[in-house]
Amino acid sequence: MDPTNFSRRQMLHSCGAGFGALGWMGAMANQGLADAAAESSSPIGVPHFPARAKRVVFLFMNGAPSHVDTFDPKPMLAKHEGEQPSGKLYRESKGSGYMASPFRFQQYGESGMVMSELLPNMSRHADDLCVIRSMHTDVPNHEPGLLMMNCGHLQPVRPSLGSWMSYGLGSENQNLPSFVVLSPGRPVVGPQLWSNSFLPGQYQGTSVDTNDLDVDRMVSNIKHPLLGKFEQRQQLDLLQALNRKHMQARENDAIFDEQIRAMELAFQMQSEVREAFDVARESKETREMYGETPFSNSCLIARRLLESGVRMVQVYYVTNKNKQPWDTHSDNDNQHRKLCADSDRATAALLTDLKQRGMLDDTLVIWGGEFGRTPYSEINKKNEKAKPGRDHHHTGFSMALAGGGIRGGLTYGATDEFGMNAVEDRVHVHDLHATILHLMGLDHQRLTYRYSGRDFRLTDVHGRVVQELFV
């Protein structure tokens, strides 16, 4: 146990700091900072060490993209096409053996990073991207896979990455939530993926359905159903006058002042939130660069939010009709063609946009899904005419990172020659989390929260910071 942690908690109680304040206090690195912060009532973030990234955008390809069709070329699959994979499989192969990717891979940029033809726009950013080819996770099922990637645990009672980050760093903009989830439709698992769980409620991700771009419908309670700004101000003036009168009769107890200030802040937030979420304010060129799909609109909103000081934005690649479009159990090739076309354009536009605004250096961009897909085929037994797909695959897959202190042009780690298992410089999801937190200035071993009698961490008892990825 960290003895300073205990005394800090006692100190807080004796200072009468509210329970809510404990959250970000718990993450503080030393007593001096905690003392200083205890006097201030707004949650400020205190990183453990200098941060390379100030904000994160996580583009989540729900259903799991195929690594051998995107970032991890495997010529051996063509050579051994149709052979059944050897070795221990999580579950029996349901198909006709190894299946080569029909997509052409080639080198891009000065770094010579190898990428598939499915990513023509992202490949122009090859020298900004870092691809980890040696990702692995614990289970090839969506629900636990999603929970692991988002919350670091296979079961649903842990705070999410974004919640941990908000808890550790607070918000850059008091008028906006620090963790926003943009999801045109609902991903599998759903709200648990952005849950604060046992962290205080203010660290929960604010989720927004981006199908409807009308801001007042997108963000709940952001506009009065009847009153315009002027009328609402009048109403608020009356309310605050009554509140102040009430407070003055009660020794100006701070409990009232806190409420009065929150009310004032809420009034200010309305216009700022509406502006931040409003893509209609973007130029025609920008809208065109991103594209006009639900995912690309979400990416554009993400940029606006990051620019306004939101700490973490997570964009889920889902639609109204499909909670996991990337789950290509059949017709893998054509589906990947379509999905990549959309995702590639929007992701590349986001990278370009961030770069043009000078934000890429301190914005960490993450692209990937809950795991990868099998290098061997899956045949739909009920519909033999259907083209082959690929099944879930967790022992080796790829993720792409960019910006925020990441070394561009780096291809890190490797799977074996068939893309079956990560074999070189393996990176578990816990390691990825430790690395993300590190880039944000947080030590994954010190970012803890005391709950149920013990100190919890995003990375549990695991996690290695993959220093090799850093600039």
Partner 1 sequence: MIRFALPITFFLLIPTGLFVLQLKADETDSAAFFEKRIRPVLVEHCYECHSASAQAIKGGLRLDTREAIRSGGESGPGVVPGDLELGSVVSAMKYESVEMPPKGKLSESVIADFEKWVADGAIDPRDAESVPPLAATSEIDWKTASAFWSFQPPKRVALPSVESTQWIQRPIDAFILAKLEAEGLFPNEAADRRTLLRRAYLDLIGLPPSEQEVHSFVQDESPTAFQDRVDQLLASVRFGERWARVWLDVARYAEDQAHIVGDDKSLFFPNAYLYRNWVVRAFNLDMPYDQFVRLQLAADLMSPEDRENWVALGFIGLGPKYYRRNAPDVMAEEWEDRVDTVTRGLLGVTIACARCHDHKYDPFPTEDYYALAGVFAGTEMLNMPLDDSVEAKDGHAKDPDKSMHVIRDQKPRDIKVMIRGNVENEGELVERGFPRVLTGGERVVFKKGSGRLELADAIGSPNNPLTARVIVNRVWGQYFGKPLVGTPSNFGKLGERPSHPELLDDLSVRFMQNGWSLKWLHREIVLSATYQQSSAIDFEKQESDAANQWLWRANRRRLSVEAWRDSLLVASGAIDYSFAKGSIQASKATDVRRTLYSSISRFQLDPLLVLFDFPDPNTHSERRSLTTTPLQKLFAMNSDFMMKQAEQLADRLIQLDVSTNEDRIHSAYASIYSRNPDREELLLGLDFLKEGSDGKRQWTKYLQALLASNELLIVD
Stretch of 32-40, 259-267, 292-300, 340-348 lying at the interface with partner 1 (CB under 8 A): 259-267
Burial state string for 430-463 with b = 16 or more CB within 10 A and e = fewer than 16: bbbbbbbbbbbbbbbebbbbeeeeeebbbbeeeb
User: Which is closer to partner 1, CB of 110 or CB of 258?
Assistant: 258
Sort residue 239 into left (φ over 0), alpha (ψ -120 to 50) or beta: alpha
For residues 277 and 301, is the Cβ–Cβ distance under 8 A?
yes
User: Which is closer to partner 1, CB of 358 or CB of 453?
Assistant: 453
Contact flag: residue 82 with partner 1 (CB under 8 A): no
Q: What is the CA radius of gyration of the chain?
A: 24
Contact flag: residue 428 with partner 1 (CB under 8 A): yes
| Element at 208 (helix H, strand E) | strand 206-208
User: Which is closer to partner 1, CB of 102 or CB of 191?
Assistant: 191
Among positions 260, 341, 359, 386, the unique one binding partner 1 when judged by CB under 8 A: 260
Site for partner 1 in 123-142 (CB under 8 A): 141
Contact flag: residue 120 with partner 1 (CB under 8 A): no
CB of 135 to partner 1, least distance (A): 13
For residue 218, give every residue at least 6 positions away whose Cβ sits within 8 Å of its Cβ, in sequence order, or none: 208, 209, 210, 212, 277
Site for partner 1 in 237-256 (CB under 8 A): 238-239, 241-243, 245-247, 250-251, 253, 255-256
Stretch of 32-40, 106-114, 231-239, 304-312 lying at the interface with partner 1 (CB under 8 A): 231-239
Give the side-chain half-sphere CA count within 13 A for 198. Answer: 14
User: Which is closer to partner 1, CB of 130 or CB of 188?
Assistant: 188
User: Which is closer to partner 1, CB of 79 or CB of 246?
Assistant: 246
> What ranges in 387-456 are assigned the alpha helix state H?
429-439
Contact flag: residue 347 with partner 1 (CB under 8 A): no
CB of 417 to partner 1, least distance (A): 16
**Which positions from 13 to 32 touch partner 1 by CB under 8 A, shown as an x/- string?**
xxxx-xxx--x---------
Contact flag: residue 325 with partner 1 (CB under 8 A): no
Contact flag: residue 467 with partner 1 (CB under 8 A): no
Q: How many residues bind partner 1 (CB under 8 A)?
A: 83
Tokens of 207: 């989720």
CB of 6 to partner 1, least distance (A): 7
Let me know the angle formed at the C-alpha of 207 by 138 and 148, rounded to the nearest 5 degrees. 5
In the 8-state DSSP scheme, what is residue 85? P
CB of 423 to partner 1, least distance (A): 7
CB of 265 to partner 1, least distance (A): 4
CA distances in angstroms from 454 to 6, 55, 170, listed in the order given: 12, 29, 23
Among positions 93, 192, 211, 286, the unique one binding partner 1 when judged by CB under 8 A: 192
CB of 144 to partner 1, least distance (A): 7
> What ranges in 282-393 are assigned the alpha helix state H?
284-290, 294-307, 332-356
CB of 156 to partner 1, least distance (A): 4
SS3 169: helix
CB of 463 to partner 1, least distance (A): 10
CB of 202 to partner 1, least distance (A): 5
In the 8-state DSSP scheme, what is residue 57? E
Contact flag: residue 426 with partner 1 (CB under 8 A): yes
Cα–Cα distance between 441 and 333 in angstroms, integer?
40
Long-range contacts of 113-116 (CB under 8 A, 24+ apart): 113/409, 113/411, 114/71, 114/73, 114/411, 115/70, 115/71, 116/69, 116/70, 116/71, 116/73, 116/340
User: Which is closer to partner 1, CB of 45 or CB of 403?
Assistant: 45
Contact flag: residue 90 with partner 1 (CB under 8 A): no
User: Which is closer to partner 1, CB of 210 or CB of 448?
Assistant: 448
Among positions 40, 221, 383, 467, the unique one binding partner 1 when judged by CB under 8 A: 221
User: Which is closer to partner 1, CB of 270 or CB of 363?
Assistant: 270
Site for partner 1 in 262-321 (CB under 8 A): 262-263, 265-267, 269-270
Among positions 30, 31, 106, 259, the unique one binding partner 1 when judged by CB under 8 A: 259
Among positions 217, 224, 281, 357, the unique one binding partner 1 when judged by CB under 8 A: 224
Cα–Cα distance between 376 and 358 in angstroms, integer?
42
In the 8-state DSSP scheme, what is residue 406? B
**Which positions from 161 to 190 touch partner 1 by CB under 8 A, shown as an x/- string?**
-------------xx-x----------xxx
User: Which is closer to partner 1, CB of 171 or CB of 352?
Assistant: 171
| Maximum CA extent, the chain | 84
Cα–Cα distance between 268 and 163 in angstroms, integer?
24
**Sign of the Cα pseudo-torsion (144, 156, 150, 215, in order):** positive
Count how many residues are written for the chain: 471
Distance separating the N- and C-terminal Cα atoms of the chain: 34
